[in-house]
């Protein structure tokens, strides 16, 4: 569903549909699609992210002792959804 809404964007990399629970700096949500260049996040509750804001996404993985922490930048917001791009560091 989410890919269909935003298919006409300027992505350089393809995305894979998923449903990963995550924690962000100020709220939690679910990653709905994920790719090399970024992700689509659906916020659980109020989306307080701002375009250009640097965020850290904490992705818990079953069977691992450590969570994956990704640094990203908010590219756009729309209602309870936001698109993020991954910094190249």
The CATH number for 69's domain is: 2.40.10.220
Quickly count: other Cβ atoms within 10 Å of residue 12's Cβ. 9
Across the strands, what pairs with 76?
A: 83
Q: How many domains does the chain have?
A: 1
Could you give the CA distance from residue 77 to residue 20 in angstroms, rounded to a whole number?
Answer: 19
Q: What does the pLDDT read at residue 69?
A: 87
Mean pLDDT within 17-42: 88
Q: Which domain holds residue 24?
A: 2-86
> In terms of pTM, does the model score above 0.85?
no
The mean pLDDT value of the chain amounts to 81
Mean pLDDT within 72-88: 90
């Amino acid at each position: 569903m989410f890919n269909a809404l935003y298919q006409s964007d300027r992505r350089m990399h393809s995305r894979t549909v998923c449903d990963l629970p995550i924690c962000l700096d100020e709220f939690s949500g679910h990653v709905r699609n994920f790719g090399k260049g970024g992700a689509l996040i659906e916020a659980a509750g109020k989306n307080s992210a701002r375009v250009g804001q640097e965020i850290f996404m904490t992705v818990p993985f079953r069977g691992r002792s450590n969570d994956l922490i990704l640094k990203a930048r908010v590219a756009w917001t729309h209602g309870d959804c936001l698109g993020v791009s991954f910094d190249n560091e």
